[in-house]
Homo-oligomer: A and B are copies of this chain.
Amino acid sequence: MTIHTVIDDKERVNRLRLIRSENVGPVTYRQLMRRFGSAGAALDALPTLASRGGRKSRRLVICPPGDAEREIEALHAIGGRFLYIGQADYPATLAAVEDAPPVLALLGRSELLTQTIVAIVGSRNASTNGKRLAGQFAKAIGNAGITVTSGLAMGIDTAAHAASLDTGTVAVVAGGIDVIYPRENTGLYHEIAQRGAIVAEQPFGMVGQARHFPRRNRIISGLSAGTLVVEATQRSGSLITARLAGEQGRDVFALPGSPLDPRARGTNDLIRNGAALVETPEEVISALRQSSLSMLSMTDDAAFLPPPDTDHAADVDDIRRRLLGVLGPVPVNVDDLVADLHLPPGPIATALLELELAGRVERLAGGRVSLLADIDAPAPNAAFSSEKQTTLF
């Protein structure tokens, strides 16, 4: 079992500040926590790291304590609270994802997140039969004691949530936890907030933007032992969720459909590419029973790895220069960089962290990094520019 460190209110505020600060994404957050041990220490180090990384014209925007405190209060005011990665109540399956949100807003029943979870997703523009199937699967899966998660979208998502309200349903929203989208699901949102759970990565009050949806999808798949795609055209966003589930090592299930049905193109493609063809909820339940066993062995120990050796600043200066020489806009694996430069991984990690905070490199999922073209231009939306959306489109 993982040992979870108890953290105080100040550290809670600081952790929220850290992830809400410019150029700090989930992966960088974990690195900073590993390196500095606490969010407070990491926040103190941010300006130095960024300036060593080459930031000159504009100071890194660090989330002020007041902003984080107000966000925590606002969430409390509507009956919610934050879950912090590395803490006991943070969902273990999500914590096992490399770029899991370090801080997750929760409204509703937290215990739904500690059960086995299955995602049921699909097209917004679903058919009557597709919605009926989504409902049938959600109901049967819920009755088997499994939490159903989805994205509160129209169509399949709505049918899945509605059918699992009685047993346990979790809606992952793309914007802030208090932002109801789409409007048509206002009633369902409130029902889920009362009887199920709503989770969100984005700041309170933030209206979901296009780039947030794939980020949201990684949470849906990451919470889940498996993702079931009910109906999906070839361009459906639910295919992103399925792909992410596969990358996260989770089960992918798909309902087949006639070649004459364009709404089955996406699910048939998934099956062709290795997703399990399922026709009944029982197939999903029995597969999940097996994989939930392996989920139990997952630990969210990423935040508790020993910090790397302290690096000599002079070495790192040299390494930063060499990194800028070999990095380009095409993502490269950090392991390949280490092999290419014949340098120890510790100082390279430090140099990359600094370059990232300076806004000169971007860290992507799968241990890859790329050079950002526009080094010192002001970020258009500094507080949220840490989102590494390119990895997910």
Contact = CB atoms under 8 A, between A and B. Distances in A.
Interface of A: 129, 132-133, 255-261, 264-265, 268, 271-272, 276-280
Contact of A133 (B133, B255, B259, B271): B259
A271 B256 CA distance: 10
Copies in the complex: 2
15 contacts: A129-B258, A133-B259, A256-B257, A257-B258, A258-B258, A258-B261, A258-B264, A259-B278, A259-B279, A259-B280, A268-B277, A271-B271, A271-B277, A272-B276, A277-B277
Contacts of A271: 256, 271, 277
Contacts of A261: 258
Contact of A277 (B255, B256, B260, B280): B256
Contacts of A277: 256, 268, 271-272, 277
A153 to B, nearest CB: 21
A277 B270 CA distance: 10
A217 to B, nearest CB: 24
Contacts of A257: 256-258
A210 to B, nearest CB: 29
Give the 7 A-B CB pairs with smallest separation, nearest first: A256-B256, A259-B279, A272-B277, A257-B258, A271-B277, A256-B268, A129-B260
Contacts of A133: 258-260
Contacts of A258: 129, 133, 255-258, 261, 264
Nearest to A129: B260
Contacts of A278: 259
